Amino acid sequence: MKSILFIISLVAFSASGQDSKSQAILNKLSAKIKGQKSFYIEFNANVKNNSNGTNASETGKGWVKGEKFCASYGNNTIISNGVKTWTVVKEDKSVYETDANEQDEETMNPKKLMTIWETGFKNKYEKETKLNNEAVHVIDLYPKNGGKVDYHTIILYISKTSNELKKAVMKAKDGTVMTYTLTKFQGNPAIEETKFVFDSKKYPGYTIIKD
């Protein structure tokens, strides 16, 4: 669950008084994401801290359709129909049910993961470089309320040609580095509505905890 919350904490950013070059790139990326009726992503995530020996990796997937989403990260699954959200934690055999509108800061919503720059951060264009032989823009994000978060910088890698987020690196104050790498993005796929329906019959023996 902690590894999920690390990715979740990528979700708190804003767009006023920013570096004009980086802001133009981010605005273009936001417009592309919001122009999709639905999308599907696959990603890898790594949490590393040399001081305590942490080096853990997980894979994830996410489906988004309007305000509805379904995401899997490691052994955990989050399902939201836009009204209710269910977080399924396999390790605990527990399901946490909450109102969707109360999950803004605590849910691994893949739509937010793809628009992580939009609220609460200043941005700065760093450079253009190559990532896996692809030209990318490197943009740094700094939390406006740094005293209230556990990290100090997010580094975004955005494709220059496809205008897609390729990688995000979060640097925490305790030395932990969280690297999120997008491995697949599919715009406007056909997604069945059942993807966003929680079915307790699929989780026999699980305890449902309503918040």
User: Which sign, positive or negative, has the C-alpha torsion 55, 56, 62, 67?
Assistant: negative
Instruction: Calculate the dihedral angle through the C-alpha atoms of 140, 146, 152, 157, rounding to the nearest 10 degrees.
Output: -30
Provide the whole-model pTM.
Answer: 0.81
Quickly count: other Cβ atoms within 10 Å of residue 151's Cβ. Answer: 21
pLDDT beneath 50: ranges in the chain: 2-17, 104-106
Q: What is the CATH number of the domain that holds 81?
A: 2.50.20.10
Per-residue pLDDT, 101: 81
- The gap between the terminal CA atoms of the chain, to the nearest Å, is 17
Q: Which domain holds residue 33?
A: 2-210
- Residue at 154: amino acid letter: I
Percent of the chain with pLDDT over 70: 89
> What is the phi/psi pair of residue 178, to 5°?
-105, 120
H/E element, 209? strand 207-210
Express each pLDDT in 56-105 by its tens digit: 999 999 999 998 999 998 889 999 999 999 999 999 999 999 998 875 44
Q: What is the pLDDT of residue 103?
A: 55
Query: CA-to-CA distance for 94 and 99, rounded, in angstroms?
Result: 17
Q: 114 Cβ partners below 8 Å, 6+ apart?
A: 33, 39, 41, 64, 165
User: Residue 6: its pLDDT value, please?
Assistant: 46
Q: Which helix (H) or strand (E) holds 8?
A: helix 2-8
Domain count, the chain: 1
Q: How far apart are CA 104 and CA 101, in angstroms?
A: 7
